[in-house]
Structure 1
Amino acid sequence: MKTITQRELAARSKAVLDEVEAGEVYRITRNGTEIAEVRPISARRRFVPVAELQRKWRTAPKVDSAEMRREADEFFGSEDRVGDDDPWEQR
């Protein structure tokens, strides 16, 4: 863990955040008092496995497209739609 001042963080924020992304933890001080800690987010993932997406999709709540269309028309107004092709309409 490293300790830096607020001013140093402002002056070299890109370098500090690059180090945080690589796993470093920083404590930030202002007038000699620690005020914050900057650390990497531990749960960050670059991809989600297909099996997990499939599992989440199967357990997701069902969407009532007619109700969604009614709510969208109520909120946005149906007169502003462009064209006759309604993407919300089930075929």
Structure 2
Amino acid sequence: MTTQPEITQRDLRSRSREIMDAVEHGQSFTVTRDGHEIGELIPLRRRRRFVSRQDFATMSRHAPSIDAGSFRADQEVASTSETDSPYDR
């Protein structure tokens, strides 16, 4: 396991732009104050909006097969139970 670089609270304050640019590019940091670890700066995981056809095929290769009849039956149950009014009982 790789350890993340430590930065002091003072470093964070004085070099914030440089540090935040590094976080934006995937770098993580452990923030310290008075020699004690107080937090971590980690990049946010970004969700991809577009998945290429090749990536989809690769991800789907090991997906379980779906029984169409069972799927339709599950959808029917879900759709009828969601439209039932709780006040009609």
Name the TM-score, length of structure 1 as normaliser: 0.48
